[in-house]
Structure formats: C-alpha cells, structure tokens
Amino acid sequence: GVNLAPWLLRIAKNQCYDMIRAMRRRPADSLEENLTNPLVERVQGGRSPEEETLRGELAAEIQRAILSLPAEQRLLVTLIDVQGFSYEEAAEAAEVSIGTVKSRLSRGRARIRDHLRGLGELLPSEFRQTS
C-alpha cells in the first residue's frame, strides 16, 4: 500500500501557511464591535464583559506575536500549539528532524513569551512578572 501520511502532512502544512496568510490580511476587529451590551452582566462562560474583552485583546496579541515569528518558528508553533500536531507529525510536515522541531518551537515560544510579558495588565495575574 501507499503511505498517505507524508501527503496528508504536506496538505496540513500548506493549510497552516494559508491560515497565516489569511490572518495577516484580515483587519483587526474594532473594540466597538467586540463590546457586548453593557446591561448584560455576564457573557458566555460566566465571564464579565470586561473579562471577555481582555480575553479577546490577549488572543489578538498572541496572534500578533505568532505572526511576528520567523517562518520556520511560526510554522512549528502553529502546527504544534495551534493545530495540536505531535512533534513527530510536525517534523514530518516541516521536513526537519525532531531535534530541529524542539529547538525552533522553544525559540518561538520564548519570543511569544517575551512579547506577552510586555503587555502588563492585559495578562491574567498568574502570568504577570512581579519582579
């Protein structure tokens, strides 16, 4: 039989690139569009409108941080942290060794972490630096 895994992983890799290109082209939502009715005290998931707004802003910052990564790091962060690929699947899709996946993923995550540390109050309290 024919091994379809490399072909399917190549399709997934190309889909990730397409998603990244689409995220770059899509304009950011305005804050006004994301605000809920102020009369509503709670929104989905039991979060307050303020919590929901902060959550949306944090998601947008994470997306910006991912888009700012070099292409090889961005691909692996997207495959593993966004799409849920295993290291082995990501290595096959990116056509690199597992060691390369680990190092690029580590560098990418560190860059995202550094980007997010500069956000201060936007981060949930358990993720803020207190030094």
Q: How confident is the model at residue 19 (pLDDT cuts 50, 70, 90)?
A: confident
Residues 6 or more apart whose CB falls under 8 angstroms from that of 74 comprise 20, 66, 67, 108
Go through the domains of the chain in sequence order and give each one's CATH number: 5-26+48-127 (1.10.10.10)
Rounded alpha-carbon distances, angstroms, from residue 49 to 35, 37, 52, 119, 123: 7, 8, 5, 20, 16
Pairwise CA distance, residues 131 & 10, whole Å: 44
- Quote the mean pLDDT of the chain: 77
Pairwise CA distance, residues 35 & 131, whole Å: 33
Give 27-69 pLDDT, tens digit per residue: 555 555 545 444 444 445 566 777 777 778 888 888 889 999 9
